[in-house]
Amino acid sequence: MIRDRSRSAAASVLPAPGRRLHLDVEAVLETYPGPAVLLDPLGRVVSANATGSALADSLHDGRGEELRAAVSAALADHAAAVREVTLAGGGKDSVALDVSLLPLTAADGAARVLLLGRETTVERGFIDALVESRRLFRDLVNASSDFAWETDPDGKFTFVSTRGAIGYTAQELNGRRAYDLLAEGRAEPEVFPFDSRIPLDDAEVWLAARDGAPACLLVTCVPVTNVSGGFRGARGVAKDVTEARARDAALKRAESRARLLGRILEAIRNEVAPVDMLAAAATASSDALGAAHCWILRGDAGGLAVAWRCGDPVRAAVESGVRRIADRARPGAVQQANADGLPVLAAAAAYRGRVNGAIAVARLAGAAAYTDDDRSLLAEVADRLAIALEQVANTELLERLSRTDELTGLLNRRAFFDEVSRRLAHQDRTGRPGALMYVDIDNFKPVNDLLGHGVGDEVLRAVAAILGAGSRVGDITARLGGDEFALWIEESDAGAAAAKASLILDEARVLARWSPQDSPPLGLSIGVAVSKPGESLDALLPRADDAMYQAKRGGKGRVAVSGIDREQ
């Protein structure tokens, strides 16, 4: 089964019509936590992740026509879409998915469609459970009466059917004044049915049961008169609907929780940026629970840190207390305690059995006490938050993978050039130059040829460590590819940059330990270029590269500064 979904719900996360999305598809397939399938224009599977096989199979069964049509439409319109898909399994084994269709362009220019699925089976099951609960409530309301009764003119029971009522036997009720059984703290009915002088149908009255608990009765009664019309009492039937009323109240609370939870989930879904997603979750949860403050924490069972907060600023002692309370929270159990005088509720968020965060709320001192409904709602929010936190982590991972070199952990070429371009634009405003250092490993090829690429990788990681060890805040280090590295030194002139390069050469002497026998020693050649006002990266980079080759020609293991003939 496939149902069309509003495109506006996905508009903030999908490319604008007429534009294809460009991304690292293989990285998405490898890291996406749900089903992911890449299709060609004919709807054939190009590749899929481990959990995408069922989604791929659904394209070829008898109910896959609508999804195939959606793929064709996405390619034709160059516009993304969202569909609801039910994977066949039968009964409880069926799996519901929200499937996003993303048109994109492969590196070779070919059109593709990426399908990303998110399971919604639990959410749909929750709605079905609410419907079933309401049906049960109707059955209880329509149950037969529990007992018949009669009272005298003073409202005392003169007859109660044999099974008694509200925990009392018939003998215990006979001779007892019905009015004396009214439950404390409950509203008194406008007309008390057990001594009513007018007929009543299903009048509600709360009495105290034998154990002291309040009992709700629906009473139908008629007055009894003598031959002269004088009032002799009343008679009727009563039905104990205490359990039904409790179920009704629970159902209303569940419906209220469902509405509140729906608003929270919608707030999360409508955001794309990780920070905005957490902000939406915190704000919506705070409003739903009537809290003055809300904290979203990230981390694991070993410790949590505040990732987002909403509400007025609080004392440091409050926030420290919130972290301690959240650290004690475990999946499925809501933790309640005071943090520097503020009542706090906290619930752990767990994804696939692993704690990945928590949510905590606080009300002002003297505010209404937390109820069981509040605790249940916070626990449900924590369950959904766990998925959102995992999505945030995956988004950050994808961004990190797209910007870093896998072997060394340094920025990759594209990310480095983007960062340096921003620094150069900032330099145009401040007038303070920076230095670009181009670094190449001397005599690296024999290492790979004679000792193997495993040793070569050790050398590359060692160079990355040397370059990163002396970096200041604001400096940027990258591996440009192969055995070439780069370092941007913020607010530096030629002298300071050359001095730093010389220190790097001193540290690089440790590379000699990886040099193959009878081969020239490993080392570094460094070219330095100091940025000029208005200079672009396209102009600065060749100057640093030329300086590096000047150091190579001078005998390697040296520093050369662009614009200075003498090698350092």
pLDDT over 60 at 566, yes or no: no
pLDDT over 50 at 553, yes or no: yes
AA identity, residue 7: R
Cα–Cα distance measured from residue 427 to residue 419, given in angstroms and rounded to the nearest whole number: 12
pLDDT value at position 143? Answer: 44
More confident residue, 173 or 286: 173
H-helix or E-strand containing 28?
A: helix 25-31
Query: Do 153 and 232 meet the contact criterion of CB atoms below 8 Å apart?
Result: yes
49-91 pLDDT, tens digit per residue, is 988 888 888 887 766 788 888 888 888 888 888 888 888 765 5
Beta carbons within 8 Å of 41's beta carbon, 6+ residues apart: 72, 75, 110, 111, 112, 113
| Phi-psi map region of 107: left, alpha, beta (phi>0 left; psi -120 to 50 alpha) | alpha
* Structure token pair of residue 243: 């359990």
Query: Do 252 and 238 meet the contact criterion of CB atoms below 8 Å apart?
Result: no
34-53 pLDDT, tens digit per residue, is 899 998 888 888 889 988 88
pLDDT over 60 at 7, yes or no: no
AA identity, residue 388: A
The model scores a pTM over 0.85: no
Q: Is 476 exposed, middle or buried (0-12, 13-18, 19+ CB in 10 A)?
A: buried
* Residues β-bridged to residue 112: 104
Helix (H, G, I), strand (E, B) or coil at 115: strand
pLDDT over 50 at 305, yes or no: yes
* Residues β-bridged to residue 252: none
Query: Do 511 and 443 meet the contact criterion of CB atoms below 8 Å apart?
Result: no
**DSSP annotation of 51:** T
Cα–Cα distance measured from residue 511 to residue 525, given in angstroms and rounded to the nearest whole number: 13
Helix (H, G, I), strand (E, B) or coil at 426: helix
Query: Do 349 and 358 meet the contact criterion of CB atoms below 8 Å apart?
Result: yes
Q: What proportions of the chain, in percent to the nearest 5, are helix, strand and coil?
A: 40, 30, 30
Beta carbons within 8 Å of 80's beta carbon, 6+ residues apart: 7, 10, 14, 15, 21, 74, 100, 101, 102, 103
Beta carbons within 8 Å of 213's beta carbon, 6+ residues apart: 242
pLDDT value at position 6? Answer: 40
pLDDT value at position 86? Answer: 81
* Structure token pair of residue 20: 């294809």
The rounded percent of the chain whose pLDDT value lies above 70 is 90
Banded pLDDT at 459 (limits 50, 70, 90): very high
Average pLDDT score over residue span 212-237: 92
Domains of the chain: residue spans and CATH: 2-119 (3.30.450.20), 147-240 (3.30.450.20), 252-401 (3.30.450.40), 413-561 (3.30.70.270)
Query: Do 434 and 471 meet the contact criterion of CB atoms below 8 Å apart?
Result: no
pLDDT value at position 274? Answer: 67
Average pLDDT score over residue span 141-157: 78
Dihedral of the alpha carbons of 106, 108, 109, 113, in degrees to the nearest 10: -30
Query: Do 250 and 264 meet the contact criterion of CB atoms below 8 Å apart?
Result: no
pLDDT value at position 89? Answer: 64
486-516 pLDDT, tens digit per residue, is 999 988 899 999 999 999 999 999 999 999 9
Banded pLDDT at 13 (limits 50, 70, 90): very low
Strand 559-561 versus strand 523-530 pairing type: parallel
pLDDT over 70 at 26, yes or no: yes
pLDDT over 80 at 327, yes or no: yes
Q: What's CA 50's distance to the chain center, in Å?
A: 22
H-helix or E-strand containing 553?
A: helix 537-553
Average pLDDT score over residue span 521-544: 92
Lowest mean pLDDT: which of 150-159, 398-407, 491-500? Answer: 398-407
Average pLDDT score over residue span 521-535: 92
Strand 111-119 versus strand 147-151 pairing type: unpaired
pLDDT value at position 286? Answer: 85
pLDDT value at position 142? Answer: 38
Lowest mean pLDDT: which of 255-259, 313-317, 326-330, 487-491? Answer: 255-259
pLDDT over 80 at 1, yes or no: no
Q: Over the chain, what is the mean pLDDT?
A: 84
Lowest mean pLDDT: which of 42-46, 106-110, 216-220, 467-471? Answer: 106-110
**DSSP annotation of 151:** E
pLDDT value at position 385? Answer: 84
Q: Is 390 exposed, middle or buried (0-12, 13-18, 19+ CB in 10 A)?
A: middle
Banded pLDDT at 17 (limits 50, 70, 90): low
158-201 pLDDT, tens digit per residue, is 999 888 899 999 999 999 999 999 999 888 899 999 999 999 99
85-136 pLDDT, tens digit per residue, is 888 765 567 788 888 888 988 777 788 899 998 888 777 777 677 767 655 5
Average pLDDT score over residue span 468-484: 87
Average pLDDT score over residue span 396-417: 86
Average pLDDT score over residue span 379-403: 82
Average pLDDT score over residue span 297-304: 81
Cα–Cα distance measured from residue 541 to residue 532, given in angstroms and rounded to the nearest whole number: 12
pLDDT value at position 77? Answer: 85
H-helix or E-strand containing 335?
A: strand 334-339
